Amino acid sequence: MTTRQLRVILKDTKLSASTILMLVGLFVIGFYLFKDKVKTKDDLIEVKAKLSNFSFHEYKGFRNNSFQYFLYFNDYNNKFQIVADFIDYFDKEYFERKVRIGDTLRVYLPLTSFNKINNKDKVKIFGLYGRKETFLDCENAIERYNSDFPLWAGFSFLIVGVLIFAYHSDKLKRIEKINKR
């Protein structure tokens, strides 16, 4: 690709948009393909820990809401996070009614999150249980985590980007003709 062609792509909004769509599509596909492999509860590690604190914050926006649900445990420096994808399966009110600071909870983590313990990184929670209570069931979290939606969304972005680029590529062909003269 010549610098002239690159300048045309950057100046033309349709070619720029198509390039961005293709890059976003590739990023989303890559993210899906290289995420942790968690297919069953056997792919998770159980950690038992005493709760030292928790914070559940919801930020209501114009178009969507964001969630920051964190748990803190006595023996770990990490923030244990219930990610937004799993919020629908987490019973916050039940948790707040049943659990007290100092209670021992069973937390299920993927191996990569387990390897981050005590390095102050956020750790993604896939399951959260009390003695007899279930606050976040692993099976529901695993099912949501393995959804194919991101893969199809990535392919959609990529295909739309390629189609737009191909439709407007005549501008690049004109530059090639000029360069050959």
Three-state SS annotation for 32-56: HHHCCCCCCHHHEEEEEEEEEEEEE
Both 21 and 76 in a single domain? no
Amino acid at residue number 116:
K
Predicted pLDDT at 90: 93
- Whether the Cβ atoms of residue 71 and residue 80 lie closer than 8 Å to each other: yes
Per-residue pLDDT of the chain (181 residues; tens, 9 = 90+): 566 666 666 677 777 888 888 899 888 888 778 777 888 888 899 999 999 999 998 887 777 777 889 999 998 888 999 988 899 999 899 999 999 999 999 999 988 777 777 777 788 899 999 999 999 999 998 888 887 777 888 888 889 988 888 887 776 666 555 555 5
Both 47 and 129 in a single domain? yes
Q: What is the CATH number of the domain that holds 72?
A: 2.40.50
Both 73 and 134 in a single domain? yes
Both 136 and 77 in a single domain? yes
- Whether the Cβ atoms of residue 18 and residue 157 lie closer than 8 Å to each other: no
Both 55 and 31 in a single domain? no
Both 28 and 94 in a single domain? no
Both 140 and 162 in a single domain? no
- How many folded domains does the chain comprise? 2
Both 68 and 156 in a single domain? no
Both 25 and 79 in a single domain? no
pTM score over 0.85: no
Q: 86 CB contacts (<8 Å, ≥6 apart)? A: 125, 126, 136, 140, 141, 144, 145
**Containing structural domain, residue 135:** 41-145
